[in-house]
């Protein structure tokens, strides 16, 4: 399975990010706490390489809390301030504001020393599609400004938003990179819903999730799908889940597509529990191929 997806508006978005970067004091990169490194766009890392950055790990309520702690330590060890949040908790939103204010403080102090009237810090918010960027913006502004949705590619233009008197936020569209050479990166992003489901084999992605969970969260699989012991054969496991969850066609045959949908829905809604699909102990990277593709191929 090869996943490539780079809509035309994303190529344009990268150019706009590069052009607007000089207008901001630092960047706020959002990643998914369930795949913190895989959800970092390596193309953006190139663009932001000379810019101060903070990382906000979104959807911490769906991620393994112990792994989340390790990932925060990992980013901080690499000199990048990081925190994990649940965008529905006011206390977490306040932590984002405090970290952003602290990062903008140094720039404001430099302006003041030059005799320039201090202003609100300017922050560019970046991230891949469907990471929760629009939701966070609305929480920060305390009103509905950005469009929100559970599908990738909702935000398609840049937008300035004032966050009280603390800072000004420049929103940008979610940007994926042209090609995923590391299939595990692609599988993680597909599993958490970053890549449009229409571009994928859901059975392959669901099988990836089950294999990972049987290795790292075996008890959850046994309990959620009412199993007495682990099943190594993926066909048998799909059949078992299909029968337990009623994913049947006429004649009593299991509908594997419906089983895949059930597994991915369980993961994405948190019904499987708090799961992180990569460990900070692993060296996970993504390819940064520079040739944009007009559409996706599976």
Q: What is the pLDDT of residues 137-186, one digit of tens each?
A: 889 888 665 443 444 443 445 567 888 777 888 887 777 665 677 888 88
Note the pLDDT tens digit of each residue in 57-116: 999 999 999 999 999 999 999 999 999 999 999 999 999 999 998 888 877 888 788 888
Q: Which segment of 45-54, 66-75, 210-219 scores lowest on mean pLDDT?
A: 45-54
The residue extents of the domains of the chain are 8-171, 183-268
The CATH fold assigned to 183-268 is Conserved Hypothetical Protein Ylqf; Chain: A; domain 2 (1.10.1580)
User: Is the pLDDT at 122 greater than 80, yes or no?
Assistant: yes
- Higher pLDDT residue, 120 or 97? 97
Highest mean pLDDT among 5-14, 36-45, 289-298: 36-45
- Contact criterion met (CB below 8 Å) for 155 and 173: yes
Cα–Cα distance, 8 to 14 (Å, whole number): 10
pLDDT at res. 145: 58
The CATH fold assigned to 8-171 is Rossmann fold (3.40.50)
- Equal fold, 8-171 vs 183-268: no
Cα–Cα distance, 203 to 182 (Å, whole number): 19
Query: Over the range 83-107, which residues count as b (16 or more CB within 10 Å of their CB) and which as e?
Result: bbbbbeeeebbeebeebbeebbeeb
Residue with tokens 């294999």: 211
pTM of the model: 0.82
């Amino acid at each position: 399975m090869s996943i490539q997806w780079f809509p035309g508006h994303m190529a344009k978005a990268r150019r706009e990010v590069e052009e607007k970067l000089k207008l901001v004091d630092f960047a706020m990169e959002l990643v998914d706490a369930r795949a913190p490194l895989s959800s970092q766009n390596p193309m953006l890392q190139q663009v932001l390489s000379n810019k101060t950055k903070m990382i906000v790990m979104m959807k911490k309520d769906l991620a393994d809390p112990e792994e989340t702690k390790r990932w925060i330590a990992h980013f901080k060890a690499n000199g990048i301030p990081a925190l994990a949040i649940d965008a529905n908790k006011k206390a977490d939103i306040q932590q984002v504001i405090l970290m952003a204010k602290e990062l903008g403080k140094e720039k404001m102090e430099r302006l003041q020393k030059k005799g320039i009237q201090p202003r609100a810090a300017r922050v560019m918010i970046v991230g891949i599609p469907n990471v929760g960027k629009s939701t966070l913006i609305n929480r920060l502004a305390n009103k509905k400004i950005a469009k929100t949705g559970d599908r990738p590619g909702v935000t398609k233009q840049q937008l300035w938003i004032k966050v009280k008197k603390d800072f000004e936020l420049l929103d940008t569209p979610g940007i994926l990179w042209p090609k995923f050479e590391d299939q595990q990166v692609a599988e993680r992003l597909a599993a958490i819903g970053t890549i449009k489901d229409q571009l994928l084999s859901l059975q392959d992605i669901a099988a990836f999730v089950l294999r990972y969970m049987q290795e790292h969260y075996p008890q959850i699989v046994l309990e959620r799908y009412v199993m007495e012991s682990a099943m190594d054969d993926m066909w048998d496991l799909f059949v078992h889940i299909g029968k337990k969850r009623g994913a049947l066609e006429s004649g009593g045959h299991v509908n594997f597509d419906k089983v895949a949908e059930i597994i991915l829905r369980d993961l994405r809604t948190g019904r499987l529990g708090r799961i992180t699909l990569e460990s900070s102990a692993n060296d996970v990277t993504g390819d940064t191929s520079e040739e944009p593709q007009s559409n996706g191929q599976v």
